Homo-oligomer: A and B are copies of this chain.
């Protein structure tokens, strides 16, 4: 955008979004490439204007749900340094995404291979984001990745208007709430 359009995109210090690294400053919260994509989508679609916000959020949520439901990275450079296997994160969080990939690949969480994997993942998210934005620009954007049926059942009680209405969330629930290993793998605790 900075190269092809210039102003106002030239006003933004793009390196600001480096802070998304490692799930916000290495905290392993929201995945940094999703956080960067969200800011880019919001800016480009004009989500700062309340009238455009719902459409902007729909694209962001689609990118987030695509990313947690898809075997990634689905981008591979022409001359890769390493071969990187795909995994499904089931989550928009760095912590979960990295742990799942480490388990699938047998590589360590601070290995060069993991770092390379996150580079490929960032390219994959950028590609999907641009495709979604292009569809939106053509008036042809539709959410392609709804919440899973299981998560929709959960949200039925826990979301706005539900019997309990006691949480917020647009993500899979089972990754944290119903996975035996989340509790049982450390019996000594």
A residues sitting closer than 8 Å to B (CB atoms) are 8, 11-13, 15-16, 18-19, 22-30, 34-35, 38-39, 41-43, 47-48, 53, 56-57, 60-61, 64, 92-95, 98-99, 102-103, 108-111, 158-161, 165-171, 176-180, 182-183, 186, 189
Contacts and interface: CB of A to CB of B under 8 A. Distances in A.
Contact of A170 (B15, B16, B26): B26
A23 B168 contact: yes
17 contacts: A11-B12, A12-B13, A16-B42, A18-B53, A22-B168, A23-B168, A26-B61, A27-B92, A27-B171, A28-B171, A29-B92, A93-B93, A94-B168, A109-B158, A110-B160, A177-B183, A178-B189
Contact of A25 (B26, B28, B61, B95): B61
- Tallying the copies of this chain within the complex gives 2
Q: Which 3 A-B pairs have the closest CB atoms?
A: A19-B42, A15-B48, A25-B60
A63 to B, nearest CB: 9
B168 A28 contact: yes
Contact of A182 (B39, B92, B99, B176): B176
Contacts of A28: 167-171
A162 B28 CA distance: 17
A119 to B, nearest CB: 15
Contacts of A57: 25-26
Nearest to A95: B169
Contacts of A98: 167-168
Given A176-B176, A178-B183, A168 B13 contact: no
A111 B166 CA distance: 10
Contact of A35 (B30, B167, B178): B30
A144 B61 CA distance: 35
Contacts of A109: 158-160, 165-168
